[in-house]
Amino acid sequence: MTISLKKGIIAGLSVILFLLWAVSLYWGWMPSSYDVHSKAIEEAQANKHEIVPGYTTTTTLIGMTRWLTEKPGGFLSNDVTPPALFMDNMPAFEYGVLEQVRDLALVMRLDFSRSQSQSSGDKDLEIAQTKVNISHKNWALPSAEGEYADAVIALKRYRARLVAKNEKDAQFYTRADNLSDWLREIEKRLGSISQRLSASVGNDRYNIELAGDPTARQATETEEESQVKTSWLEIDNVFYESRGATWAIVHFLKAVEIDFSDVLEKKNARVSLKQIIRDLEATQETIWAPMVLNGSGFGLLANHSLVMANYVSRANAALIDLRALLEQG
């Protein structure tokens, strides 16, 4: 092999690597927030729909699900080719969004669309909820993105029936108990997110799983005290998964603020919801460091995970108070 040929191969590989790096930067660009109210109005005008209760929440759920498959690079979590194969931040962000899509799709099917526990569920919401629960790692027969696209189609059918005057089966009930049920699920998610982010520095924890109930039991015995610490290889994955989850939750809360406006006004709870949204919006601030830093709690370097955990914990505490307010008579 001649020297010129070697130089040509090296130059060619360098160009390919640079192009893959540039594409990964483009595909990995984090999304910005958008106005869910304006988006709902835009969709209603495009489809000649009337905005009814549930329209904004359904449109936002459609938007989040579509984003997973239609953003630059498409759905990356199940890709088996470069550069997506070597990316981890955006796939982690995707999974955080996907978890919230799954939660809301389930609540839409079981609570928001049903008047009582004995009432039947909506067929399109059942299809959508089933479709989004396929493994996000599936890449063929069927692919995850294909199933998510089918979920969007089912959600659009439900939305079209929701606004149809002659369609009585499709419903969306804006009741305080329905909203409270969904907020309870968000509480659990935020609590888990806060704990996982806090584990970036490691801490000793007591086993409190059975606290408060002397008759409670668990299947497998666990130690009374243990240390929880996230592996340094997983720090950025946990951070971006949490960032994706809170990004989706912010949009869903803004949609709920519109659809459940009467309930929130009656309970004088709108300002409480706005504060929760503001705290979660802070988790989406620009990261100016070239990587997710993991300094100790009071060390010289910042710890981005602990900063986000602070905002999430504040929002979670306010969410608990909001749910208690909604459940009051």
From first to last of its 329 residues, what are the pLDDT tens digits of the chain? 677 888 888 888 899 999 989 999 999 999 999 999 999 999 999 999 999 999 999 999 999 999 999 999 999 999 888 888 889 999 999 999 999 999 999 999 999 998 766 577 899 999 999 999 999 999 988 999 999 999 999 999 999 999 998 877 889 999 999 999 999 999 999 999 999 998 887 666 666 666 656 666 776 766 666 556 777 778 899 999 999 999 999 999 999 999 999 999 999 999 999 999 999 999 999 888 888 888 876 777 888 899 999 999 999 999 999 999 998 85
Are 259 and 55 within 8 A, CB to CB? yes
pLDDT at 6: 83
**Cis bond leading into 83, ω under 30°?**
yes
In the numeric block, the tokens 């806090």 are attached to: 198
Rama region for 240: left / alpha / beta (φ>0; ψ in -120 to 50; rest): alpha
Residues across the chain: 329
Are 126 and 46 within 8 A, CB to CB? no
Strand partners, 226: 205
pLDDT at 215: 66
Quote the pTM value.
0.91
Residue 144's Cβ-count burial label (10 Å; 0-12, 13-18, 19+) is buried
Q: How many CB atoms lie under 10 A from the CB of residue 115?
A: 10
pLDDT in tens, 119-173: 778 999 999 999 999 999 999 889 999 999 999 999 999 999 999 988 778 899 9
Q: Closest by alpha carbon to 198, among 294, 315, 91? A: 294
pLDDT in tens, 176-188: 999 999 999 999 9
In the numeric block, the tokens 């946990």 are attached to: 238
Q: Closest by alpha carbon to 201, among 299, 70, 277, 316? A: 299
Structure tokens at 282: 């802070």
Q: Closest by alpha carbon to 82, among 171, 169, 157, 20? A: 20
Sign of torsion over alpha carbons 63, 146, 245, 238: negative
Residue 173's Cβ-count burial label (10 Å; 0-12, 13-18, 19+) is middle
Q: How many CB atoms lie under 10 A from the CB of residue 18?
A: 10
Residue 145 amino acid letter: E
Alpha-carbon gap, residue 156 to 252, rounded angstroms: 17
pLDDT at 101: 98
Q: What is the mean pLDDT of the chain?
A: 89
